[in-house]
Amino acid sequence: MNGASDLPYEARRNPALPWGYWILIDAEDDPAAPLLDEYGERWRSLREALWKGRLGMAARGDLGPADEEQIEFLLAMLAMIDRSVVSAEGVVSDMFENSWLLTSHYSSWLAGQNLIEADGNLATARLTPEGRAVLVMLASTRPADREPLPIGLEGLHPFAKLRPVPDREAMESAILAAEAKIPNATVRFLRKDMPNRPSIVLVGAANARMPMAETHWSLGFTQTYHRDHLYAWMLAQTDRWQGWFTIAREQRSGALTEHLLTLFIAQDCEERRI
């Protein structure tokens, strides 16, 4: 059983039906492998037919826990792409533990298998008709112990564009150039490198009689480039820093975090026309 064909999937199959609908149930000759495809190959399940036959994975032996985990991960990725509400960095951070290399490789693999359109990346990709048919089949055949779990990261056990690794030199150069244009002010957002925790801090006038400054808000990150991306976004809006400082000082630091998150999401939704 091979996935290669000169004809597109939708010309060979009914794309409105789940992947594998054409495979027959024929348990008389081999009850252990009751599914029979058009090539005469027998399979224990539709998932096995997809994973070993169509995708050419796990060529030896029965499907094991590691294979099932990867199939569940494939389902999570296809569902994420179908929803089309994720950013490039969200894919790298949440699905691939901050590995741009692995993200790019998986994107290439999905495109090579004709499950996503070849152009774009995992954040902007579109499922092919076959990719959507595979999504429906996998979602409909989840093992009993997975059915109560949501499709996505929460349904996975811990194991385990897009674009190259962010250009750190270019990012740093752009940040320094923007910082040089900031007028002197009593309110500043600054980058601060905490131990194993790159952060952004908001420094402003202290609630004291002496003209001193203190930190009114801070936000830490796991990755430096995530911190710098948010900081660069802030640098483009220095005219709003005083208002943000007022929120942190008069309300609470958490209120400023919520406010910034709301602005960031609103901007992202507007750009994506959601």
Task: Write the CB contacts of 95 (distance below 8 Å, at least 6 apart in sequence).
Answer: 76, 77, 80, 103, 122, 153
Q: pLDDT digits over 129-156, tens only?
A: 999 999 999 999 988 777 665 565 544 4
Q: Is residue 99 part of a domain?
A: yes
137 and 172 belong to one structural domain: no
Decide if 134 contacts 50 (C-beta within 8 A). Answer: yes
Q: Is residue 194 part of a domain?
A: yes
Residue 127 lies in domain = 9-155
Q: Is residue 163 part of a domain?
A: no
40 and 175 belong to one structural domain: no
85 and 111 belong to one structural domain: yes
Q: Is residue 64 part of a domain?
A: yes
- pLDDT tens digits for the chain (274 residues)? 555 567 899 999 999 999 999 999 988 888 888 999 999 999 999 999 999 999 999 756 678 888 888 999 999 899 888 877 667 777 777 778 778 888 889 999 999 999 999 876 787 889 999 999 999 999 999 887 776 655 655 444 433 333 445 577 888 888 888 888 887 777 899 999 988 899 999 998 766 455 567 889 999 999 888 899 899 889 888 878 988 999 998 888 889 999 999 888 888 777 777 7
Give the count of beta carbons closer than 10 Å to the beta carbon of residue 59.
7
Residue 124 pLDDT: 81
The total number of structural domains that make up the chain: 2
Nearest 5°: the CA angle 95, 101, 104 is: 75
Q: Is residue 117 part of a domain?
A: yes
Residue 86 pLDDT: 65
* Cα 217 from chain centroid (whole Å): 28
> Among 93, 127, 155, which residue terminates a domain?
155
142 and 192 belong to one structural domain: no
20 and 150 belong to one structural domain: yes
Residue 259 pLDDT: 92
Task: Write the CB contacts of 129 (distance below 8 Å, at least 6 apart in sequence).
Answer: 8, 9, 10, 15
Q: pLDDT digits over 196-249, tens only?
A: 899 999 998 766 455 567 889 999 999 888 899 899 889 888 878 988 999 998
Predicted TM-score (pTM) of the model is: 0.64
98 and 145 belong to one structural domain: yes
17 and 126 belong to one structural domain: yes
249 and 174 belong to one structural domain: yes
Q: Is residue 2 part of a domain?
A: no
Q: Is residue 111 part of a domain?
A: yes
> Among 155, 178, 202, which residue terminates a domain?
155
Decide if 138 contacts 77 (C-beta within 8 A). Answer: no
> Among 98, 127, 155, which residue terminates a domain?
155
151 and 173 belong to one structural domain: no
